[in-house]
Amino acid sequence: MKFFVDTADVKEIRELNELGLLDGVTTNPSLILKSGGSIVEVTKEICDIVAGPVSAEVVATEFKQMMAEAEYLAKIADNICIKVPLTLDGLKACKTIRTEMNRMVNVTLCFSPNQALLAAKAGASFISPFVGRLDDISSDGMDVIAEIKQIYDNYDFDTEILVASVRTVNHVKQAALIGADVVTAPPATLRALVSHPLTDKGLAAFLADWAKTGQKIG
């Protein structure tokens, strides 16, 4: 399973990348706003740090303008993955970007298996179902992931399931159990994956006993 980080915070991305945890990055207009920087400068900086796909989202809602924005964003770096919304114009842009620009496309704002089916038929590289936002309205985000997985397996679609709007470490575990290809999670959630109280307790006990030996390694 690949780990993407869902942020435009360059400092966080650099630190997680140095830990060897990152396979890619997802951004969106709200995350760019939060970063306080310009989309071109921030995205370029991220692409210089991470070798894997870096999703940059178009904000146009009409096909022609989406394509113009996709061309512009694609010039930032070779590892830019163009992110388009799950609308009819977005699907048309997805197909065109894949066939005419030969670029990765992440179809975002997916909330149903049928939407994911359409994205796969449009040749999407990634589909981003938002599990947290589904849970927020008392739906079950992980049920949607499981159904998309079954549909993609039924037809051998190449589109990778990128579980988005991840809020908890349990979302990550459930996504892995279902066999999703990628999770994109906020930095704090990725860091929280390492935590276990018995690891902390065990390490403290080992270090205390080691101190009593009076030995040094090396």
Question: What are the catalytic residues?
Answer: 83
Angle ∠(78,82,88) on CA atoms, nearest 5: 155
Report, in angstroms and rounded to the nearest whole number, the Rg of the chain calculated over CA atoms.
Answer: 20
Decide: is 17 part of the binding site for ligand E4P (CB under 6 A): no
- 168 contact partners, CB below 8 Å, separation of at least 6: 189
Decide: is 164 part of the binding site for ligand E4P (CB under 6 A): yes
Helix (H), strand (E) at residue 55: strand 54-57
CA 163 to chain centre: 7
Decide: is 175 part of the binding site for ligand E4P (CB under 6 A): no
Decide: is 159 part of the binding site for ligand E4P (CB under 6 A): no
- Can you read off the two tokens belonging to residue 105? 């496309």
Name the residue type at position 112.
S
Q: Give the three-state DSSP class for 68.
A: helix
Decide: is 189 part of the binding site for ligand E4P (CB under 6 A): no
Decide: is 26 part of the binding site for ligand E4P (CB under 6 A): yes
- Can you read off the two tokens belonging to residue 92? 């048309």
**Per CB under 6 A, which of residues 27..46 are in contact with ligand E4P?**
28
DSSP-derived secondary structure letter, 122: T
Answer for which of 35, 165, 174, 189 binds ligand E4P (CB under 6 A) is: 165
Decide: is 126 part of the binding site for ligand E4P (CB under 6 A): no
Considering only the stretches 127-135, 150-158, 171-179, 202-210, report the one whose residues sit in contact with ligand E4P under the rule CB under 6 A: 127-135
CB of 106 to ligand E4P, least distance (A): 7
Site residues, ligand E4P (CB under 6 A): 6, 26, 28, 108, 128, 130, 132-133, 164-165, 184
